[in-house]
């Protein structure tokens, strides 16, 4: 699903801008340096640095957010959702943690949880276009799932349902990145 690359790239930009405005240039440079480690695949080193940053500034949402991104990239399946969930509870006005949490849920095919997380993101910021786009992607996947279930339950309706299912599957396929290298190049 293409959600991760769109999602993280827009979050990186938003987080850097926010950091510059709220923490000053020195902190922005530190943040950018850790972000660069993550983007270059040095996730473990980034996590080590982030652990120290989060311990020294546990109420800093930027460090914690970046920690969640690094945890996700490192494949620590329990840590990233925990980090983003805690951020949504501590900072409910920030839409980005809810959006990232939705991506994780979508990757696990828990589309209902993904939808709820994205709805929280748009409630936090009604101008957050990425969350609306991601919500649209989730709705497409939910529609495909519902129509496929209808086709299984009513095989006689196949001729009416199959064109809809095929169209939705085409949309889902187009929303997914072609390869891992394509995704990395878009970040």
DSSP structure string for the chain: -THHHHHHHHHHHHHHHHHHHHHHHHHHHHHHHHHHHHHTT-HHHHHHHHHHHHHH-TT-HHHHHHHHHHHHHHT-TTHHHHHHHHHHHH-TT-SHHHHHHHHHHHHTT-HHHHHHHHHHHHHH-TT-HHHHHHHHHHHHHHHHHHHHHHHHH-GGGHHHHHHHHHHHHHHHHHHS-S-HHHHHHH-
In whole angstroms, what separates CA 77 from the centre of its chain?
A: 13
Round to whole Å and give the CA distance between 141 and 56. 41
Please report the pLDDT score of residue 174 as a whole number: 80
Please report the pLDDT score of residue 107 as a whole number: 92
Per-residue pLDDT tens listing for the chain (187 residues): 322 323 343 444 444 444 444 555 556 788 889 999 999 999 999 999 999 999 999 999 999 999 999 999 998 778 999 999 999 999 999 999 999 999 999 999 999 999 999 999 999 999 999 999 999 999 999 999 999 999 999 999 999 999 999 999 898 888 665 433 333 333 3
Percent of the residues in the chain that have a pLDDT greater than 90, as a whole number: 68
Task: Give residue-wise pLDDT tens across range 2-52.
Answer: 223 233 434 444 444 444 445 555 567 888 899 999 999 999 999 999 999
> Is pTM, for the whole model, over 0.95?
no
Round to whole Å and give the CA distance between 81 and 77. 7
Q: What is the mean pLDDT of the chain?
A: 82
Round to whole Å and give the CA distance between 66 and 28. 13
């Amino acid at each position: 699903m293409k959600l991760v690359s769109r999602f993280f790239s827009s979050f990186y930009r938003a987080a850097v801008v926010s950091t510059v405005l709220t923490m000053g240039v020195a902190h922005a440079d530190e943040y950018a340096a850790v972000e660069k480690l993550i983007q270059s695949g040095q996730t473990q080193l980034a996590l080590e640095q982030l652990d120290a940053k989060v311990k020294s500034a546990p109420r800093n949402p930027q460090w914690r957010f970046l920690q969640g991104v690094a945890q996700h990239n490192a494949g620590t399946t329990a840590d990233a959702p925990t980090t983003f969930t805690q951020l949504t509870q501590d900072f409910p006005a920030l839409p980005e943690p809810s959006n990232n949490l939705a991506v994780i849920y979508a990757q696990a095919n828990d589309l209902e949880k993904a939808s709820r997380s994205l709805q929280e993101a748009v409630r936090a910021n009604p101008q957050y276009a990425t969350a609306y786009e991601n919500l649209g992607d989730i709705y497409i996947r939910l529609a495909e799932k519902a129509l496929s279930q209808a086709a299984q339950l009513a095989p006689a309706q196949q001729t009416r349902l199959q064109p809809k299912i095929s169209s939705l599957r085409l949309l889902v396929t187009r929303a997914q990145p072609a390869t891992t290298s394509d995704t990395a190049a878009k970040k």
